[in-house]
Amino acid sequence: METIKRDLDAIIEYLEGLDDDSLIEIHNEYCSQYDMDNYIWSNDEHFFTEMFDGRIDEAVRAVCYGEYHYTDNYVWFNGYANLESGNYTNNMPIDINEIADDILENEGNYYDIELEDEEDEDE
């Protein structure tokens, strides 16, 4: 479990320092609480099977009207139910400030993060 100072700037700094997979995991924890529409998935056969359940016409429509690339590692739905994809979190719908605020207010929603009060550091 990662221990972070109970401070918004420290949480933002922690999130910005994460590798892409770890940041996406925390982003998806946030989304599972508030907004599954912004969930980021691995771009693989399992995603298409789960999301489109054999509806090939819907999958083709979502790809054609979105910004989707077959070789990208990650995929997500945009606001029009079309697919977008990417390899790096700086091109994804991740709001680090919003997530940091939520971590500060709802620490228990994030199983890998523990916030530490400043007086705890002195002990």
Give the pLDDT confidence of 43-79 residue by residue, as tens digits: 999 999 999 998 999 999 999 999 999 999 999 999 8
The single residue listed with the structure tokens 């972070």 is: 4
Hey, what are 89's tokens?
A: 């979190």
Q: Burial, 28: exposed, middle or buried (Cβ in 10 Å; 0-12, 13-18, 19+)?
A: middle
User: Is residue 34 predicted with pLDDT exceeding 60?
Assistant: yes
Cα dihedral sign for 89, 101, 80, 40? positive
User: Is residue 37 predicted with pLDDT exceeding 80?
Assistant: yes
pLDDT at 119: 63
Max intra-chain CA distance, the chain: 61
Hey, what are 57's tokens?
A: 């016409």
User: Is residue 123 predicted with pLDDT exceeding 70?
Assistant: no
Phi, psi of 76 (to 5 degrees): -155, 165
Question: Residue 86: in which H helix or E strand, if any?
Answer: strand 83-86
Half-sphere exposure of 84 (CA within 13 A, CB side): 16
Domain ranges of the chain: 1-40+95-123, 46-92
